[in-house]
Structures are given as C-alpha cells and as structure tokens.
Amino acid sequence: MSLPTLLTQHIVRRPQRIALLQHIAEQGSITRAAKSAGLSYKAAWDAIDELNNLAQSPLVERSVGGKGGGGAKLSAEGERVLRLYQRLQALQAQVLEAAEDASDLDLLGRLMLRTSARNQLHGTIRAIEPQGCNDLISLELPEGLLLKAQITHDSTQRLELQPGTQVVALIKAGWLEVQAPGAPVTTGHNCLNGKIEQILDPENGPCEVRIALPNSQILCALAEPLLLRTLQLQETAEVQVQFSPSHVLIGTPL
C-alpha cells in the first residue's frame, strides 16, 4: 500500500518531524527521543500526534509511564515511513544543488505554509451536498469515522474537491466543545467520542485535553479546569466533543 499523498508531502515539507521517528527507533522513549532531537517533551508529543493523524495507521506506538515518561516504538508502518525518509535524505542534496538561486528555496517556503490549527485529521471526501452558496462536505476518517465540513461552493471549486479526494480537516482546539458522554448534541453539529489520553494543566488559562479517537487519531481540545472537574473528566475517562461543520477547514496538497 502506498503512503497517503498528504503524508508524503508532509515528509518533504516537515523533515524535522519525520526525523523524530529515527530518534524514537533509537531511544525507545519519547522523553529520550525528544532530548536527542532537541525538542521539548510537549513538542515531541505534538509531532507524533500530527504524524499519526496524517497516516492511514499509527506510525508510533506508545505506552504511558510516569510523569514525563513512557515507552515508544515504531509500528511496521512507522518503520516503512522512516525508510522512505532516509531515501529522501539522499535525494535532498541533489535538489538543493539544482536550485538556481537561494530565492528559489524562499519561494517554495512561502508556497508551503504551515497552519496554526492544532487538529489536522487525514480523511477522504465521500459526498458533497450543495446548500445554497455553501457545500456540506462529508468526510470519512480512518476506520470509518465520519465528520462534516461546511465551506463555500467557491472553495469547493477552487480546491477541486470531489468524492474520493484526500484532504486534511483542520480544526482549532478552541472550537471543540468538551462534554460528558451522552450529552445533548446541537442539531447538525459533529460529535466524536473518545478517551482522554492526557490533560496538560497550565498555571493559568484552559487545560489542553488530548483525546484518543477509536481510530487512534488524536484530538486536542481546550477546556477550563472547573468544567473538567464538574463533568468528572480526567485521564482515561470517556469523553465527547462536538463542533460545528463551519468550524472545520479543508486543506489539500499544493
């Protein structure tokens, strides 16, 4: 099975995060791999979540340990991606030599923008339903999870979207409403269920809640500590999140 187009392009554009796979393979620990790669522990987790979300199946398998700990190893798919990355490294020098001017690389960098959206979920368009000047896009995530995005019809045409197109659903963490399982869902909203994997409690402001979906993709949501205590939501607890289709942005490869 070939790699998804979006993950392949990520390998080319974000080599420093793919390189983290090498450190994990060597160190067998997220903590040690982060230190070896020159990343913070949190940055390493963010990178792993992003890679796993973009792949058809998780690239890194984790076992949670004590504070700041836990073991990690590459899955069979992760080892395959790492081999691809190593082959691309051999080609990188040739590409740089082919650039006629340093400004060529600057231009490519501007064309390959990164996004501030914490949640980047790889999926495939299954249906497009016209709704006036907007379109309701039905997306299928790995293992059959579904969500909907509402974008303008002009955006659908500009991105050349159609059933079968692979895309990335972009959702800001602050757009996710954390709820107890079985809570009422606003009509027309997306609703995903998962298990709280980790709660990062800052000194001030909302907590960062990492939610593992049934398909192993990770959602990052923001929630006030008081809300989590009121709903009795803690690590390993089942949780529900809802969000409007209008809060789902669609990204495609250049």
pLDDT tens, residue by residue, 196-230: 999 988 777 899 999 999 998 999 999 999 999 99
For residue 211, give the nearest of 200, 190, 196 by alpha carbon.
196
Do residues 52 and 216 touch, judged by C-beta distance below 8 A?
A: yes
CA distance 63 to 69: 9
- What's the pLDDT at 235? 93
- What's the pLDDT at 110? 47
- What's the pLDDT at 225? 93
Name the token pair of 249: 């942005």
CATH 1.10.10.10 fits 5-111, yes or no: yes
State the chain's maximal CA–CA distance in angstroms. Answer: 60
- Which residue would you say has higher pLDDT here, 244 or 92? 244
CA distance 19 to 72: 15
- What's the pLDDT at 1? 43
Tell me the pLDDT band of 101, cut-offs 50, 70 and 90: low
pTM above 0.75, yes or no: no
From the CA atom positions of the chain, what is the Rg in Å?
A: 19
Q: Which residues pair with 195 in a beta bridge?
A: 212, 238
CA distance 36 to 33: 5
Domain 115-254: state its class: mainly beta
Domain with CATH 2.40.50.100 in the chain: 115-254
Mean pLDDT of the chain: 83
- What's the pLDDT at 78? 87
Stretch 126-136: mean pLDDT, rounded? 95
Residue with tokens 């998804």: 4
Do residues 168 and 6 touch, judged by C-beta distance below 8 A?
A: yes
**Which amino acid is it at 23?**
H
3-state class of 92 per DSSP?
helix
When mean pLDDT is compared over 11-15, 24-28, 65-69, 147-151, the highest value belongs to 147-151
Give the pairing of strands 146-152 and 60-63: unpaired
Do residues 197 and 210 touch, judged by C-beta distance below 8 A?
A: yes
Domain with CATH 1.10.10.10 in the chain: 5-111
